[in-house]
Structure 1
Amino acid sequence: MSNLDRRPAAREMGGLEVTAAGPALDLLPGKEVLLGESTSVRRLLPTLGRRMVGAWAFVDHYGPDDVTSSPGMQVAPHPHTGLQTVSWLLQGEVHHRDSVGSDVTFGPGQLALMTAGHGIAHSEQSPAVHPRFLHGAQLWVALPDAHREVAPHFEHHATLPGFTSDGLTTTVLMGSFGGATSPGTAYSPLVGVDLRLAAGADVEVPLEPDFEHAVLAAGGSATVEGAPLAHGSMVYLGTGRRTVRLRADEPATLLLLGGEPFEEQLVMWWNFVGRTGEEISRYAEQWNAEDERFGTVVGFDGDRLEAPPLPAIPLKARGRVR
């Protein structure tokens, strides 16, 4: 999914100097952002005071939206560099096309994982005939320097591992959790898990103490370590936790995101991740010039998105928290 803000802020991210030294319980309520003409999302990362959780650098949550009488998601071709997009649906369908030739429609419970690496372009649309509701999360993972120029590619995994126990059903999107490992390619130590809580569930979920973690209430509301977490909100858990207690009075869907604190410093602007402002400027110029770096999305009926004007101030890589 693209950042469609026509005046996107430059985000200076990464570095360990302000990583939580132990457990935390910081609420991230999210900010409403309009994507195009028909889709509104709640942006949880980056946000004031928190820019990354491990390598997770961007979290948008949307829906459930009734798209019966609308075209639903309609995001024209746009570029990415230096990151992976992790698309996760709870309801609905999305048609993905990209410049490496992928043409895939995916639905709930299926992992759509795109590695931008050196550069890629893609579009995302609800099919012409689509389900009534659209509900999901769009997540970005920053690639470490050793892999950020990897050849772009796309993975579609229709079946993912997980387990069910004590009112909890898990699906592992990325990394390993509870003995299950996702087939999705990861380039840094991280984890992403869909946690479905039955009504009345009260569970202790294991965590990797060397990771920092966050929990997003993607469907319904829950209690995390005794603190209420409303639908569409996220709570940052810090580091050093071996477990987290989750409770739900009604059925709820949570997303657990975590990973080793991201040591490298980087710059994120619009849909690009780089290491310097000069890199970001070059990516934008190349995209607007239709440079072969990003290729062409075949089959999309319409114009592609243009990169917005760059900020007047220089872009610099700094820390992970404002």
Structure 2
Amino acid sequence: MADEFSALCQTRTWVLVPHPSGVNIVGSKWVFKTKHKPDGSIDKHKARNHPGLKMLGIPLMFASYSGLCMLGFKSSKADTSLFIFSQGGIHIYMLVYVDDSVIASSSSAAVDKLVQALSDMFPIKDLGVLEYFLGLEASHNSGGMTFTQRKYALDLLHRVGMENCKSTSTPLAPTERLSRDTGGVSVSISAYRSSWKAVKHILRYVKGTLNTGLNFRKSSSMGISIFTDADWAGDVDDRRSTGGFAVFVGSNLVSWSAKKQPTASLSSTEAKYKALANGAAEAMFFNNTFYTRGGGISTIEMNRLELDLLFNLDFKLKVNLKTFGSYCSQLEFSADEFCKSKLVRQSYI
């Protein structure tokens, strides 16, 4: 509590003023939280003082923004919590989430200099190499970095009493087709058992993928590639399609989605175009994130197609299609994994 109060005073979170007559005083409260390490052990005990209306972080937020701008950082147009520094061949990306930050740079010396500059402005604590952030566990090796969610998965299994269950290699049987109860009548025992069996199958898949994660490796290319696909009319209740996409920066998977489309499609082509639009929009987000200084045009590769994309002021997507030379096999087609039941997991996960 003493450290928290000292930090609040140092950053001038409030200003003492005389109590005006006839005005109610807005109170505050202390919030205590125990933070755990990925292995479940206690990391530290945190104390936070929250004034009324939860405006505590506002002064520090503006101070942080102003301080980073003074150091030459620019806020990303695609994500206002991401700050980018690019000068003299040195690139630094700083992601700010409330009072936690992650820094990535092409120069270790530049990171040390940045941390020192920030410590001169604010009371900060350098936690060293990234190990745990927002539920993601990071492990480092000579080839790069791997992110997993082992602790989150174990907590989920413990909550339902399945931490000792047998594992399985697939999230759902390829022939499984579940439907919802639309009539409000009693559900048959067989239908209930079928649904519960499917849920337990998913949890058994979680148990079998505790150590599965995303590998990030140094890549010679920063090009953005997207793969999109759709399972046409796959929902047995409303016959809507499921669209999916996978976005790569270089050889690294950075974003993916598998989501039922909001409207029904009259053809598989229409369903695939909807999936293409969603994937292209996500790719443009990353284009604007990593290439803030450039224009809004990016060449993005897709399965057997090459797209030249441009969002105009009306947020309409102009797409020019032309044949893409290389063939993408079914096993290499990443987006197919997010739309249809598969027996084999892709190698990039």
Q: TM-score, normalised by structure 1?
A: 0.25
More helix by proportion, 1 or 2?
Answer: 2
Structure exhibiting the larger radius of gyration computed from Cα positions: 2
Query: More relative contact order in 1 or in 2 (CA 8 Å, sep 6+)?
Result: 1
The structure richer in strand per residue is 1
TM-score computed with the length of structure 2 as normaliser:
0.23
